[in-house]
């Protein structure tokens, strides 16, 4: 979380859809509702707030996923025994209250699914995930401000575009975009579910849980679907919206290990920085970039020295090397990818021992 992260203008629409999920679950888990009751005649307010939402939801339930309609999943849940319905409702209530996990005394966070049948959990999981895969991608029944609409609602494409535009560091549309997590280039954009939707499907369209990031950050080698809590505790974890790093991560080059280290600006955030580093393999990735950039700078100085010799000019003095490095350092752009890593590169290059070594090496250039 090297860069600031904020909600976007269409976040209210996503929040409204998350509430619609809760309304659907409440209806399906009503002790007086069975599979025979899941029909368009009964899907009216107050089951959901408005008829517009009811009409969209009924059309949504007709969608086919893996050869079965979403309606079939809803009917499975509606036919569960009362005890299972109560357990599922309680689980939904806990997960829906995500923001409370970042308060001084958070309630218990469920680390496992509710103790309902595997068939019921699978039906619930597939139904909730479909709000993202089929609902958001096609368009929700909500305008940007969260008000119900019959068409032209917020979509996946709109959310991604708004996020990219509002987090663009350079307003020039042709400029590089930067990943908010690692600070690298944002090329192949993937929307990450910060808290994995495979484990917490209720959060599939939650605006506090959706984060467009680079494909490398979102790969299974890095974040993937890993947990972002410690056995139900978020105390030692950053959260992109509720507990952002806010400049609390510092990069430092460790000469002994020849690697970049992630450090916490405040001792209170040490565990959070360590967890984020391990989650995304940041130190390893930043170290690779550091070494590549360092070599690039070495090569450039060698080429400059070769040019000077072809022009019968004197060799670089150490003062000239320092001036070159300081000039490059001064014009680093914070809107470009890898800005933080490059700052560390040039700081390391100004180390006296390195300067001495560089001057000696350049003297050997032919």
- Averaged in consecutive runs of 10 residues, what is the pLDDT profile of the chain (366 residues)? 93 98 98 98 97 98 97 98 98 96 95 97 98 97 98 98 97 95 95 97 98 95 92 96 92 88 94 96 96 93 89 88 94 97 94 86 69
Backbone angles phi, psi at 229, to 5 degrees: -150, 165
d(CA 177, CA 211): 15
Show the beta-strand stretches assigned E in 205-326.
210-214, 249-254, 259-264
Query: Where a domain ends, among 153, 177, 198?
Result: 153
Q: What is the pLDDT of residue 246?
A: 83
Domain co-membership, 276 together with 142:
no
Question: Is the residue at 138 inside a domain?
Answer: yes
Query: Where a domain ends, among 132, 153, 174?
Result: 153
In angstroms, the Cα distances linking 123 to 25, 66, 69, 77 are 12, 12, 11, 7
Question: Is the residue at 359 inside a domain?
Answer: yes
Instruction: Count Cβ atoms below 10 Å from residue 104 Cβ, excluding itself.
Output: 4
b/e sequence 15-52, b meaning 16+ C-beta within 10 Å: bbbbebbebbbbbbbeeebebeebeeeebeeebbeeeb
Domain ranges, residue 357: 245-366
Question: Is the residue at 47 inside a domain?
Answer: yes
Q: What is the pLDDT of residue 364?
A: 67
Query: Where a domain ends, among 130, 153, 176?
Result: 153
d(CA 326, CA 14): 47
Domain co-membership, 149 together with 260:
no
Q: Smallest Cα–Cα separation from 214: which of 180, 183, 192, 189?
A: 189
Question: Is the residue at 222 inside a domain?
Answer: no
């Amino acid at each position: 979380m090297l860069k600031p992260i904020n909600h976007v203008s269409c976040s209210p629409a996503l929040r409204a859809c998350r509430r619609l999920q809760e309304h659907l679950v409440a209806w399906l888990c009503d002790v007086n509702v069975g599979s025979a009751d899941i029909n368009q005649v009964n899907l009216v307010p107050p089951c959901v707030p408005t008829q517009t939402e009811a009409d969209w939801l009924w059309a949504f339930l007709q969608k086919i996923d893996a050869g079965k309609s979403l309606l079939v999943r809803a009917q499975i849940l509606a036919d569960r025994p009362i005890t299972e319905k109560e357990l599922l409702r309680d689980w939904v209530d806990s997960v829906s209250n995500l923001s409370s996990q970042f308060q001084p005394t958070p309630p218990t966070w469920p680390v496992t699914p509710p103790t309902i049948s595997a068939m019921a959990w699978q039906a619930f999981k597939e139904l909730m995930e479909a709000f993202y895969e089929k609902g958001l991608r096609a368009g929700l029944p909500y305008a940007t401000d969260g008000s119900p609409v019959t068409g032209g609602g917020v979509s996946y494409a709109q959310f991604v575009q708004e996020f990219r535009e509002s987090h663009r560091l350079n307003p020039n549309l042709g400029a590089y975009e930067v990943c908010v997590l690692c600070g690298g280039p944002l090329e192949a954009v993937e929307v990450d579910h910060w808290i994995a939707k495979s484990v917490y499907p209720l959060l599939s369209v939650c605006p506090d849980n959706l984060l467009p990031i680079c494909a490398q950050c979102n790969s299974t080698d890095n974040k993937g679907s890993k947990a972002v809590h410690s056995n139900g505790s978020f105390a030692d974890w950053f959260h992109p919206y509720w507990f952002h790093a806010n400049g609390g991560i510092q990069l430092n080059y460790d000469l002994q290990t020849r690697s970049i280290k992630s450090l916490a600006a405040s001792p209170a955030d040490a565990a959070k920085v360590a967890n984020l580093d391990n989650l995304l393999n940041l130190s390893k990735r930043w170290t690779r970039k550091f070494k590549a950039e360092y070599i690039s700078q070495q090569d450039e100085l060698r080429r400059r020295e070769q040019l000077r010799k072809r022009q019968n000019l004197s060799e670089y003095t150490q003062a000239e090397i320092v001036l070159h490095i300081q000039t490059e350092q001064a014009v680093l752009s914070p809107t470009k990818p890898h800005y933080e890593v490059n700052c560390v590169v040039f700081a390391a290059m100004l180390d006296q021992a390195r300067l001495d070594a560089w001057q000696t090496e350049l003297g050997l250039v032919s």
